[in-house]
Amino acid sequence: MPFVGEILKHRSLSIVGLDKNTGKTVCLNYILRRLDEQGVPVGVTSIGVDGEQVDSVFATAKPEITLYEGSRFITSEQHYLKRQLVSVIERVDSRRTALGPLVTARVLLRGKALLSGAATTGVLRGQIDELCSAGCRLAIVDGALSRLSLASPTVTDAMVLATGAAVSASVGQLVNRTRFVHNLIMLGEVEPGLRRSLAPLDGGLWGIDDDGLPHDLGVRSAFLIKPTDKDLLRFGKRVFASGAVSDRLLRSLAVLAEGVTLVARDFTKLFVTPEAYADFTRRGGQVQVLQRSRLLAVTLNPTSPQGFLMDSERTCAALSEALQTPVYDVMRIGR
């Protein structure tokens, strides 16, 4: 997978999946192996739990995470004690998790490990800084479930998106679901001057006038929009949502006027359905972001946890055509 060369242009990387069992761990192991071959010092952590031998939902076998000499990793105390490698502890975080304090360690002899990390993106940002300050050229965050928040450009510099038969056994449905998320990731950015004006704002919705100046609309959350809120566009046809974006907000803006532009912080703030998004854009609406996430690759796991196997070449080709980007069968290349 040639995107490994692109990874080294960045300080941090997230690996996120559209669902469980989309091949994130196989992809992570492939990247770690390739970087070890190149002598690149790497740090690894997780949001949630990754690296378990058996899937907690489907009770199927899962690949463990292999860590190499000189790499660093952050995991909970309980999972650190279950490691199958030789390592030395460098730091124990005073903040506790449900599985004990977070332990930072350096690998002395390669082996397997379970990763369970921070529950919030704020803590993740601190861990990335910690790993890079300790000498890691790249910090990798392995996602759990469908947590796309760690792919925010405010958390990691770049991302790999994993999809597969676990998302849908239908090639058509898989393509549609993956394309929708891909399109959100690739949304256009606002102009730099407007980004500087909007980035510090917090709390609710803001109207943007013709001069690019923001005005508080008095709505604390996009989830609290009411049918009576008819003056959302009193400052112009651009609205900035400083937090999460819901279907309700898209539908409210869509019926007010054509050609509305909604600005979100990044794609991870868009909690919208394909149907609501399609209706908004059909009415001339546009969505932009303050900062776009840097997508390096899309990978495919053609096998579902129930054992269904997709035609790899056909599915990769269909996804590549829909996304206009190469798609790699991680199960074929990554092992």
Q: Name the residue with tokens 């991870």.
A: 268
* Each residue's pLDDT tens digit, 232-257: 999 999 999 999 999 999 999 988 88
Per-residue model confidence (pLDDT) at position 205: 94
What pLDDT shows up at residue 287? 97
Residues of the chain with pLDDT under 50: 51, 55-61, 145
pLDDT for position 203: 82
Please state whether beta strands 12-17 and 158-164 pair in parallel, antiparallel, or not at all (unpaired).
Answer: parallel
CATH 3.40.50 fits 3-185+293-333, yes or no: yes
Q: Which residues contact 65 (CB under 8 A, 6 or more apart)?
A: 25, 28, 29, 32, 44, 50, 51, 112, 113, 114, 115, 142
- For the chain, the residue count is 335
SS (H, E, C) the chain: CCHHHHHCCCCEEEEEECCCCCCHHHHHHHHHHHHHHCCCCEEEEECCEECCCECCCCCCECCCEEECCCCEEEEEHHHHCCCEEEEEEEEEEEEEECCEEEEEEEEEEEEEECEECCCCHHHHHHHHHHHHHCCCCEEEEECCCCCCHHHCCCCCCEEEEEEECCCCCCHHHHHHHHHHHHHHHCCCECCHHHHHHHCCCCCCEEEECCCCCEEECCCCCHHHCCCCCCCCCCCCCEEEECCCEEHHHHHHHHHHCCCCEEEECCHHHEECCHHHHHHHHHCCCEEEECCCCCEEEEEEECECCCCCECCHHHHHHHHHHHHCCCEEEHHHHCC
Q: pLDDT tens digit string along 106-157?
A: 999 999 999 987 777 888 899 999 999 999 999 999 875 456 777 888 889 9
Answering whether pTM is above 0.85, one says yes
Give the per-residue pLDDT at 21: 87
Rounded Cα–Cα distance for residues 209 and 188 (Å) = 20
Instruction: Give yes or no for a contact between 38 and 120, defined as CB atoms under 8 angstroms apart.
Output: no
- Taken in order 224, 228, 231, 237, is the CA torsion positive or negative? positive
Distance CA 177, CA 329 (A): 17
- Domain ranges within the chain, ordered by starting residue: 3-185+293-333, 192-289
Contact 232, 205 (CB under 8 A): yes
**Fold of domain 192-289:** Cytidine Deaminase; domain 2 (3.40.140)
pLDDT for the residue numbered 59: 45
Instruction: Give me the pLDDT at residue 335, please.
Output: 54
- Partners of residue 15 on adjacent β-strands: 142, 160
